[in-house]
Structure 1
Amino acid sequence: MHNIPVSADSGTWTITELASQYDVTLRTIRFYEDRGLLTPERRGTTRVYHPRDRVRLALILRGKRLGFSLDEIATIVDMYDAEPGEEGQLVYLLNQITRRRADLEQRRHDIEQTLHDLAEVEARCQADLEKLRTGSA
């Protein structure tokens, strides 16, 4: 079996090159393959990634950073290749962004409320401790 050279110069990448470029593990890329998010060409035992795979990996990683689930990311990425195409993908993505933003805003509100509640309890505890220490209970 011959090793066929694969390089960015030819518009293709190895799994090691992609992992290095995107600072992810080989296991991460294989996981995305197992989920059907990436579909590299096989040349013997070598995985050959084309520009489409590279773009999909970038979209997957961006989606993860934004807090989307892999199922949501798969829907967004897969819509680009099928009907309703890019327009449907963008509409879906905008809806997901709206939902994600609302969720994060609610979490921020909940955290702010919790911090406020903790500050009140802390102040009462400090006051009670001060009373105990000065004997003015």
Structure 2
Amino acid sequence: MQAYYTISQLTQEFGITTRTLRFYEQEGLVKPVRRGRQRLFRPGDRTRLKLILRGKRLGFSLAEIRDIITMYDKAPGESGQLAHLMKRISSRRAELLEKRRDIELTLAELDAVEEGCLERIREIGVDPRELIGEKEENPS
């Protein structure tokens, strides 16, 4: 493991911009040491960055991510952090399952409305493909 990582190394490794990394620094989530104008990130900063990005992928807000990460350094430490994380995961899962149900209901409703439209179009005596721009090709 390296003693320090440069901003370029971390942005390349994690596929983020320097602006993003500086934002996380500004928010106090990572704390590089300075050597002149150069920022040097410790292995702990790299780990924090990995956790931040994972949290973002899972849909946690930056405030939630900060809470989870900073709990590690306070009592009750890692066990408290893990318990807090488990609660957040449960909550996030419930949110996503509710969104999934809402999407499934909406899709079912769209299917029903579409079927009703197609049925009425057929009753009128129009080929549905003509209305949506799919005309039958005439074989020559």
> Is residue 109 of structure 2 the alignment partner of residue 102 of structure 1?
no
Alignment of 1:1-137 (within 5 A): 10-133=2-125
Unaligned runs of 5+ in 2: 127-140
Unaligned runs of 5+ in 1: 1-7
Secondary structure of the structure 2 residue equivalent to 1:81: coil
Identity of aligned residues (%): 49
Secondary structure of the structure 2 residue equivalent to 1:115: helix
Give the deviation of 1:71 after TM superposition.
Answer: 0.3
Q: TM-score, normalised by structure 1?
A: 0.89
Compute the RMSD of aligned alpha carbons: 1.1
Question: In the TM superposition, what whole-angstrom CA distance separates every residue of 1:76-131 from its partner, at most 9, and x where no partner exists?
Answer: 11111122210110010000000000000000000000011000000000001111
Runs of 4+ in 1 over 2 A off after TM superposition: none
CA distance in 2, matches of 1:59, 1:129: 54
Between structures 1 and 2, the one with greater helix share: 1
CA distance in 2, matches of 1:45, 1:112: 53
Question: In the TM superposition, what whole-angstrom CA distance separates every residue of 1:36-85 from its partner, at most 9, and x where no partner exists?
Answer: 10100011111010011000000000000111000000001111112221
Q: TM-score, normalised by structure 2?
A: 0.87
CA distance in 1, matches of 2:67, 2:31: 15
Give the deviation of 1:133 after TM superposition.
Answer: 1.8
Corresponding residue number in structure 1 for 2:137? none
